[in-house]
Amino acid sequence: MITVMVSGASGKMGRESVKAIHADKDLSIIGGIDPKQAGKDVGLVAGIEELHKSVYASIEEALAKEKPQVIVDFTSPAVIFENAKKVLSAGVHMVIGTTGLTADQRSELDCIGRANKAHCLVAPNFSLGAVMMMKVASSLAPYFPDVEIIELHHNHKYDAPSGTSVLTAKLINEAREAAGVKPSEDLTKESLTGARGAKVDDITIHSVRLPGYVAHQEVLFGGHDETLTIRHDSLSRLSFMPGVVLACKKISSVEGLTYGLEHYL
C-alpha cells in the first residue's frame, strides 16, 4: 500500500485527487495539506465519507505528523517551488500538477531530489488522452512543419499559455529539428500587437480563457492544399485522475525529476 497526501486538498483538482486515491486499492490517503481547511477531515473536505485523516495547515506540520511516501501537489504557481523544495528535502516523492516551474527551478529540484533519494514528476497534463495528443502531434511534425496551437481553459486558470501547450510546442519543435525541416515563412504583419498569439520555440500559441471550458487543445497543421487538426477535450477533472493514480504508483521506480507524464507510460 502506497501512502499519499494531497497538498491543495480543498481545491477542485485536490478534492478529485483525494477521492481517486482513496478509491484505489493500491493507494492509501493519509491526509491533506491546505491552510484554508486545516483541522478538518480530508474525506469530508473532498466531499466523501469521513476518513479520520486530517488536513494540515502546512507542509512542515504535515511532515512532522505523518511520513507519506508520495505528496501530490495541486496548489498555485506562487508556492509550488518552495513546497517542492521542502517535500523533496524530506525524502518524500512528489507528483506535481501545479504549473509555473521554470526549467532552472526543475533542474534545482532534480538535484535536491537526487540528494535525498526522492523522485519527482512534473506533469503539465495528467490526462492520458492529452499525452497521446502530444505524442501524435510530435510524430506528425516532420511531415507538417507548419503548425499552430489553440488552447482553451476556464477563466480561473492562473497562467497562459498552458503548460500542456508549451510542452506540445517544444515536442513539435524537437521533432522538426530532428527531421531537418522548417516551417514556411510567416509574412503576416500584426496591425494589433498580440493578434497572432505568443511564440514558443517559433510555434504560435493562442490562449482562450472563458467560463464553461475545462481543458481543451487543438493542434492545427497546414499542408499543400490540406489541413490536419488534432483536438483533445477534458470534459471534467475526472479525466486527469487515472494519470494521477498512475503517477503515484510508478514514481518510486523513476529516479530524479521527470517532466511529462508520457515518460511514465
Question: Is residue 111 located within the same domain as residue 47?
Answer: yes
The whole-number pLDDT of residue 259 equals: 94
Question: Is residue 137 located within the same domain as residue 107?
Answer: no
The predicted-structure confidence for 112-171, as pLDDT tens digits, reads as follows: 999 999 999 999 899 999 999 999 999 999 999 999 999 999 999 988 999 899 999 999
- Compute CA distances 162 → 167, 178, 206, 217, whole Å: 9, 25, 10, 10
Averaged confidence pLDDT in the chain: 96
Evaluate whether 19 touches 48 at the Cβ level (below 8 Å): yes
Question: Is residue 112 located within the same domain as residue 12?
Answer: yes
Structural domain count, the chain: 2
Global pTM value: 0.84
Examine the pLDDT at 39 and tell me if it is beyond 90. yes
Examine the pLDDT at 83 and tell me if it is beyond 90. yes
The whole-number pLDDT of residue 159 equals: 87
Question: Is residue 14 located within the same domain as residue 104?
Answer: yes
CATH code of the domain in which 213 resides? 3.30.360.10
- CB-CB neighbours of 97 under 10 Å: 25
Q: Which domain holds residue 216?
A: 128-234
Question: Is residue 132 located within the same domain as residue 110?
Answer: no
Question: Is residue 135 located within the same domain as residue 222?
Answer: yes
Evaluate whether 252 touches 69 at the Cβ level (below 8 Å): yes
Examine the pLDDT at 100 and tell me if it is beyond 90. no
Please give the share of the chain, as a percent, with pLDDT higher than 90: 93
Question: Is residue 150 located within the same domain as residue 67?
Answer: no
Q: Which residues form the catalytic set? A: 153, 157
Question: Is residue 109 located within the same domain as residue 160?
Answer: no
Overall average pLDDT of the 202-206 stretch? 96
Cell of 22: 482513496
Cα torsion through 158, 87, 81, 129, rounded to 10: -50
The predicted-structure confidence for 235-258, as pLDDT tens digits, reads as follows: 999 999 999 999 999 999 999 999
Question: Is residue 60 located within the same domain as residue 77?
Answer: yes
The predicted-structure confidence for 86-98, as pLDDT tens digits, reads as follows: 999 999 999 999 9
CATH code of the domain in which 34 resides? 3.40.50.720
Examine the pLDDT at 42 and tell me if it is beyond 90. yes
Evaluate whether 119 touches 113 at the Cβ level (below 8 Å): yes
d(CA 147, CA 138): 11
d(CA 130, CA 151): 12
d(CA 65, CA 33): 12
Q: Give φ, ψ of 109 to 5 degrees.
A: -65, -35
Overall average pLDDT of the 213-224 stretch? 96
Examine the pLDDT at 265 and tell me if it is beyond 90. no
Buried b (16+ CB within 10 A) or exposed e, 183-214: beeeeeeeeeeeeebbebeebbbbbeeeeebb
Question: Is residue 246 located within the same domain as residue 202?
Answer: no
Question: Is residue 148 located within the same domain as residue 91?
Answer: no
Question: Is residue 71 located within the same domain as residue 105?
Answer: yes
- Give the largest Cα separation in the chain, rounded: 63
The whole-number pLDDT of residue 99 equals: 84
The 3-class SS string of 80-122 reads HHHHHHHHHHCCCEEEECCCCCCHHHHHHHHHHHHHCCCCEEE
Examine the pLDDT at 221 and tell me if it is beyond 90. yes
